[in-house]
């Protein structure tokens, strides 16, 4: 049964960008006496549901944290199973993405991915590039610290090559060198599975994001859970350092 958008959800005050740490697949599987990969397989169903919900609501950007730099240190079997699943799923979903006018983006250190994965991803990116609806950003082999180090290196190179003077470096310069330079900062960050941390996700971009944590594990997270998060978000007062009366 598909969840209905709650009438109390104000369609004019939705975030432009939602970022999600999809966590809890392994524990969800373990609770069912299954292998961790079983949880990852079921997590794909949640991805489909949430991407569809975001597109239906007219959200412009959805970033999903699928695999962190640190996740490479998991047991080899889980890493290869997960990599295979992520890449084949992305590739298989291209027709649905196109049907729904969804453009795929990937952020992260793709050079760490096996060749087959890099090729499949490249194809999926090209095939959805003309789409103008939801921008679906997959964070793959991504970490905030990796991204910041990359940005600093690129800025330093620009200074060395005299394309930039150090006195011209501003917050905007750093922003322009992030892998998310083309996207606005997320207004809402959701993390599932009852973990209350950022785990190296979008460290710069989340500066003023509203954070929403739920005990629900990712394979159980569906449209209704997203609507709950959005209703909660709409109750928040975003002050950006100012006081209430100034807003
Ligand atoms: C999130 O679920 C998916 C990835 C990190 C790839 P986990 O695999 O972290 O599941 P838990 O947190 O161990 O339950
Ligand atoms: C964060 O989850 C990364 C992803 C969801 C892809 P982890 O499960 O890796 O994070 P920690 O280890 O619990 O902080
Ligand atoms: Mg986890």
Burial 176-202 (b: 16+ CB within 10 A, else e): ebbbbeebebbbbbbbbbeeeebebbb
User: How does pLDDT run along the chain (247 residues), one tens digit per residue?
Assistant: 578 999 999 999 999 999 999 999 999 999 999 999 999 999 999 999 999 999 999 999 999 999 999 999 999 999 999 999 998 999 999 999 999 999 999 999 999 999 999 999 999 999 999 999 999 999 999 999 999 999 999 999 999 999 999 999 999 999 999 999 999 999 999 999 999 999 999 999 999 999 999 999 999 999 999 999 999 999 999 999 999 999 9
Residues with CB under 6 A from ligand 2: 21-23, 65-68, 71, 195, 197, 199
Residue 173 CA, ligand 3 centroid: distance in Å: 33
Q: In the chain, what percentage of residues exceed pLDDT 70?
A: 100
Residue 56 is predicted with a pLDDT of: 97
Which residues have C-beta within 8 Å of that of residue 32, sequence separation ≥ 6?
A: 38
Measured in Å, residue 39 CA sits from the centre of ligand 3 at 11
What residues flank ligand 1, with Cβ below 6 Å? 22-27, 67, 71, 82, 193, 218
Residue whose Cα lies nearest atom 2 of ligand 2: it is 23
Q: Ligand 3 centroid to 195 CA: how many Å? A: 8
Ligand 2, atom nearest to 21 Cα: 5
**Each residue's pLDDT tens digit, 79-124:** 999 999 998 999 999 999 999 999 999 999 999 999 999 999 999 9
The pLDDT of residue 1: 56
pLDDT of residue 2: 73
SS3 of 129-164? CCCCCCEEEEEEEECHHHHHHHHHHHHHHHHHCCCC
Give the residue numbers marked as catalytic. Answer: 23, 71
Distance of CA 144 to the CA centre of its chain: 12
* CATH no. for 14-143+184-234: 3.40.1180.10
Atom of ligand 1 nearest to the CA of 66: 6
Contact status, residue 51 vs residue 63, Cβ threshold 8 Å: no
Domain boundaries, the chain: 14-143+184-234
Q: Which atom of ligand 1 is nearest to the CA of 29?
A: 14
Separation of CA 189 and ligand 1 centre (Å) = 17
């Amino acid at each position: 049964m598909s969840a209905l958008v709650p009438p109390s959800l104000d369609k004019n005050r939705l975030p432009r960008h939602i970022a999600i740490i999809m966590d809890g697949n392994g524990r969800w599987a373990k609770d069912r006496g299954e292998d961790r990969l079983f949880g990852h397989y079921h997590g794909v169903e949640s991805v489909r549901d949430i991407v569809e919900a975001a597109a239906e609501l007219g959200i412009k950007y959805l970033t999903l944290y699928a695999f962190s730099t640190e996740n490479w240190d998991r047991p080899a079997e889980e890493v290869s199973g997960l990599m295979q699943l992520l890449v084949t799923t992305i590739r298989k979903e291209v027709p649905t993405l196109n049907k729904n006018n969804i453009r795929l983006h990937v952020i992260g250190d793709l050079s760490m991915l096996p060749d087959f994965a890099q090729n499949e991803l490249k194809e999926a990116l090209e095939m959805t590039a003309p789409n103008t609806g939801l921008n679906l950003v997959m964070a793959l082999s991504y970490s905030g610290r990796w991204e910041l180090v990359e940005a600093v290196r690129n800025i330093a190179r620009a200074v060395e090559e005299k394309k930039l003077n150090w006195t011209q470096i501003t917050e905007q310069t750093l922003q322009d060198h992030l892998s998310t330079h083309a996207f606005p900062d997320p207004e809402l960050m959701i993390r599932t599975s009852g973990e209350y941390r950022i785990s190296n996700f979008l460290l710069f971009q989340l500066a003023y994001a509203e954070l929403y944590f739920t005990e629900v594990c990712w394979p159980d997270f569906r449209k209704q859970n997203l609507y709950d998060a959005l209703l909660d978000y709409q109750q928040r007062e975003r002050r950006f350092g100012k006081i209430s009366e100034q807003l």
